Structure formats: structure tokens, C-alpha cells
Amino acid sequence: AQTVTQSQPEMSVQEAETVTLSCTYDTSESDYYLFWYKQPPSRQMILVIRQEAYKQQNATENRFSVNFQKAAKSFSLKISDSQLGDAAMYFCAYRSPLETSGSRLTFGEGTQLTVNP
Amino acid sequence: GAVVSQHPSRVICKSGTSVKIECRSLDFQATTMFWYRQFPKKSLMLMATSNEGSKATYEQGVEKDKFLINHASLTLSTLTVTSAHPEDSSFYICSARVDPGTDTQYFGPGTRLTVL
């Protein structure tokens, strides 16, 4: 079974600065998907960014980018120019290919990000 | 696009009663929906996978007679917590996948259940 590990229960960053959230995973599969979701105090899960394992290029979405290291099974999230609205719980998630798992997501334990003004 | 709603957002009930939570995909058809449970400051725990027109697939340790799931249409799945007890109090979240060819799940806003 796949596992996802987020080793940083809490992180903090100053507004306008950059922060990196770590995520590692364990899998024997070669083709899969990785996601970062954000859960603000409203509890609404919001997709931040996604990465297909077969793509070597790191995904980017505005101020959010990932560092995907397939051999190391690492998938970190970098938030640039941090804003107060970025404060939330961030979850890393793994998804097996559809055929093997029915599209289920395996989540890490989450990292609580605080943005200091 | 890809909006998922849940109703109710909050519910308080007495021990022994049953509670139904609805999950709707508002602007797309969802062949597959998922139900999660989340404890305070914890991660999401998958309870079951719901496919339209067929029986739900429950995760190990989740009582299917306790948590009844129905996915009668491509836009609606329901979770019924039967004979609720205080230990069932939690935050329940649903998600929906647009179609079998995509890999992204869109989440509802969640339902907080409190059993007195």
C-alpha cells in the first residue's frame, strides 16, 4: 500500500517570503499522480497543484510550484511571495493509476502553515 | 466549474437517531464520489467509494451497515449515519471525480455532525 509522509506538522513564514513544505511517499508503481490540497479554516479542500509522475517538468501554478524528485519519491511545495490568505493546512496526496485503485487518494497527515504579517 | 455541495453544513442530533448527508455535483456528472471522515487537526480518512448505480466499496474497518451510502444518480450521493452515537461526531467530507478519465477530485465543503 502507498503511504504519504509530511514530516512538518507546523511551518511558519513571514508575509512576502518563500516557504517550502515537504512530502515524501512510498510506492512501487511507476505511473501515478500527486497533489497538494489546501484546507483553510473554512474546512473547504482546495486543489493547489497537481503533478503527473510521467512528466519530468515540475508543475507550477502562479506562486505555487513543486519540486518533484521521482527517484527520491519526494514532492515538495514551494509557496513564493507568501500571503496572509495562504495560511491553512496543506495536504499532500497520492493517487494510483485508475485501473488499480479506482482513483482513491492517499493523504499525508498535513502541515499547518502560519503566515506572519 | 467543478463545484460540489454538501447539505447540511452542520447537524446536531440525539443519540440513536439517523442522519442523512447529501453530496451533489452542481455543474458536472460524477460517476464516482468519495466519502471521507476528518477528526480535528487530522488528515482525511477515506470511508468509502461510491459508484453511480452500484454498491459502495467500503474501506477496511468502516461498518457498511452503520454508514449507508447511496449513489442513485450522476449528481447525488448520500451518506446516512444510522443509529448515531457520540463517537460518530466528526467532520464528513465528500468529493467527486468528473469522469473515469480524469484524476482530480473536487471536494464539498463538509458537514459537521454532532451527536449528543
> Could you report the per-residue pLDDT of B40-85, keeping only the tens digit for each?
888 999 999 988 888 899 999 999 999 999 988 889 999 999 999 9
- Per-residue pLDDT, B1: 66
Residues in chain A closer than 8 A to B34 (CB atoms): 104-105
CB atoms B107 and A37 under 8 Å:
yes
pLDDT digits (tens, 9 = 90+) for B21-42: 999 999 888 888 999 999 888 8
Question: Residue A104: what pLDDT?
Answer: 81
Handedness of CA A53, B34, A100, B58 (dihedral sign): positive
**Residue in B38, B49, B103 nearest the CB of A33:** B103
Q: What strands, in cross-sheet order, belong to the sheet with B67-73?
A: B4-7, B19-25, B76-81, B67-73
Chain A hits for B109, Cβ within 8 Å: 42-44
pLDDT tens-place string over residues A67-83: 999 999 999 999 999 99
Interchain contact, B93 vs A43, CB within 8 Å = yes
- From the list A44, A104, A110, which residue is nearest B49 (CB)? A104
Q: Is A64 on the interface with B (CB under 8 A)?
A: no
Q: Which residues of chain A have pLDDT under 70?
A: 98-102
Confidence check: pLDDT of B99 > 70? no
Count the Cβ atoms, other than its own, within 10 Å of residue B17. 12
pLDDT, tens digit (0-9, with 9 covering 90-100), for A49-63: 999 999 989 999 999
Q: Which residues contact A41 (CB under 8 A, 6 or more apart)?
A: A88
CA distance A67 to B23: 34
CB contact under 8 A, B97 and A42: no
Q: Which residues of B touch A110 (CB under 8 A)?
A: 41-43
Evaluate whether A109 touches A25 at the Cβ level (below 8 Å): no
